[in-house]
A and B are shown apart, each in its own frame.
Chain A
């Protein structure tokens, strides 16, 4: 099965894959800061969005908030044992 082999190939080189992914993240912010690559004038709706990397910060903080708030909500009494509804 070639596909499984390919996944194994990547898994065996995990540190390299992680480094490449981080490089992509850095490149995204750099590209966002260069007006010749990303035109912001006509598309940004607010002044905040013109800051380089605004959406990176938005995505990261949003993700962390979603996880923390949801888990807090779940542990506040919403999550129950699987047999909760069994009589």
Chain B
């Protein structure tokens, strides 16, 4: 391809690099202009393959434009406009730079036609988005950011290993639908890389951990791009993989359970991302045209209403400095508009008729029923009830109403958000309602032709009954739902406590075992079975003691080393080590391929 093809990521990256040079008065204009340019660029792209670059032995394909990549490119750039508008008053340039590079990574992965380009942008996303957590500058954000990065480096390595194995076998780096009916280890590894970014349990704990700690506007970006880019990659490569149906349904319910327990409104929303992405993952697993359409439509709608919900809760955090239900309450007097916008987001995610979730989520449920997987349909309906319970009822009720009276300084600080935040929320609210009311806007973009009509009397009756009777249950059991000032343990427990457990194992049980083994053999020796005892004694002294002592010494020294490393920048060292390993693998493959 000779002619220059303008990649939308390039607009964002150049815009981000030039941002610090833009004079202060023009800054706000620049913050709007660049995402709008990227959006317009996506709108006017023609289908085809562009931006083919021959690099060493590889052919990199930066621009595969088709219906599937376009629907995701459309919503990603649209969300970038809204997110930038929402955080427009943030003075720190670096925050906007990180956000735009993050979006550029997402777009690059979406338009990538080969695995190498995909991987490149995949990692760009991880390494730029972590700054959206770090910029909150709390002690907890720093730690959460490192954990986020480490988990994503692990996922990236799994993806890379899978890619390498797959491409060695297939002889091509093209990123196309894989043979999911006969999964090889390569396909499993690629799947692990994808579902880690889609936050499928048990690889999900990074999501509430990081998104609850992000900056007020950083989390608006975070909630949209990583998981939905993974949904795109799953649609592209692993459509119809049976196990994804099971994982998706588990996800949809898992997020609901944790949302009941959660006391931080943004962590609650994060758990509902897991729940909602579960619908999409299940849709990808079903793999029919209706299901893939549903997964794409739901991703599209989800980005808007979840962004809106994070904006609403982010506005509360920005204005009051609090995001815990136990510290909030009765804010309707102070922030009524934030309440209305959040409620619209809540009604959209719950799939109320006339709101966006209604026209997208039901496609996936319908696909489950049509494939005669009744359990999928019914369990996803159950998760819908849970979604309304938390996001439509619990979040608005305990922040804006409820019996709780916030502390005086929180109450005094609370006020309506700045105009640009409210405008971003208003536009997102409008789009949520628009998609719900005017279905062709979304349906005409989907990858397959749509023959689905959400507004049947049965579907409306079914949805209203489930949702409104959930509301009845909510108000009857409201005492049970009163938030408690606690945190809930999740899978991150294993890696947060892993280091400590390791130290404990080294200092207590291994030494204890050593002493006990020695004691037992001494007693047996004294019992008088002299022949056996001699043998046992020799065995004890030479073999067991030696082994156990050696093991204890090894673990103690390793534990000591780890303890020292934790005082330093172990996370950084590990990240470097992983990055180095990644480079080595690529180099190895490259050399072997020659």
Contacts of B369 in A (CB 8 A): 45
Please give me the residue from chain A that is nearest to B257 by CB atom. Answer: A70
Contacts of A32 in B (CB 8 A): 461, 465
Contacts of A20 in B (CB 8 A): none
Q: Is the CB of B257 within 8 A of A67?
A: no
B38 within 8 A of A: no
Contacts of A1 in B (CB 8 A): 336
- Given A80-B487, A80-B489: A56 and B469 within 8 A (CB)? yes
Q: Is the CB of B336 within 8 A of A3?
A: yes
B470 within 8 A of A: yes
Q: Is the CB of A28 within 8 A of B465?
A: yes
Contacts of A64 in B (CB 8 A): 473, 477
Please give me the residue from chain B that is nearest to A63 by CB atom. Answer: B473
A64 to B260, CA, bound (A): 12
**CB within 8 A of A38: which of B461, B473, B488?**
B461
Please give me the residue from chain A that is nearest to B256 by CB atom. Answer: A66
A58 within 8 A of B: yes
A29 within 8 A of B: yes
Q: How large is the interface on B (under 10, 10 to 19, 20 to 34, 35 or more residues)?
A: 35 or more
Q: Is the CB of B465 within 8 A of A56?
A: yes
A38, A63, A69: most-surrounded residue (chain B CB, <10 A)? A63
B364 within 8 A of A: no
Q: How many A residues face the partner with a CB closer than 8 A?
A: 46
Q: Is the CB of B487 within 8 A of A53?
A: no
- Against A, the Cβ 8 Å flags (1 = close, 0 = not) of B459-494 are 101111111111111100100110011111100000
- Given A3-B336, A25-B468, A28-B464: A39 and B456 within 8 A (CB)? yes
B374 within 8 A of A: yes
Contacts of B485 in A (CB 8 A): 82
Q: Is the CB of B257 within 8 A of A43?
A: no
**CB within 8 A of B470: which of A3, A53, A60, A79?**
A60
Q: Is the CB of A62 within 8 A of B466?
A: yes
A25, A55, A57, A58: most-surrounded residue (chain B CB, <10 A)? A55
B344 within 8 A of A: no
Q: Which 8 A-B pairs give the minimum distances between C-beta atoms? A: A63-B473, A70-B260, A59-B466, A43-B458, A59-B469, A55-B465, A60-B469, A74-B261
By a beta-carbon cutoff of 8 Å, the part of chain A in contact with chain B is 1, 3-4, 7, 21, 24-25, 28-29, 31-32, 37-40, 43-46, 49, 53, 55-60, 62-64, 66-71, 73-74, 77-82, 84-85
Q: A25-B468, A69-B257, A78-B489 are in contact. List 8 more A-B contacts (CB 8 A).
A: A25-B472, A32-B461, A44-B458, A59-B466, A60-B472, A66-B389, A67-B481, A79-B488
What are 17 A-B pairs with beta-carbon distances under 8 A?
A3-B336, A28-B465, A38-B458, A39-B457, A44-B458, A57-B469, A58-B385, A59-B468, A59-B473, A60-B469, A63-B469, A63-B472, A66-B257, A66-B260, A71-B480, A79-B486, A82-B485
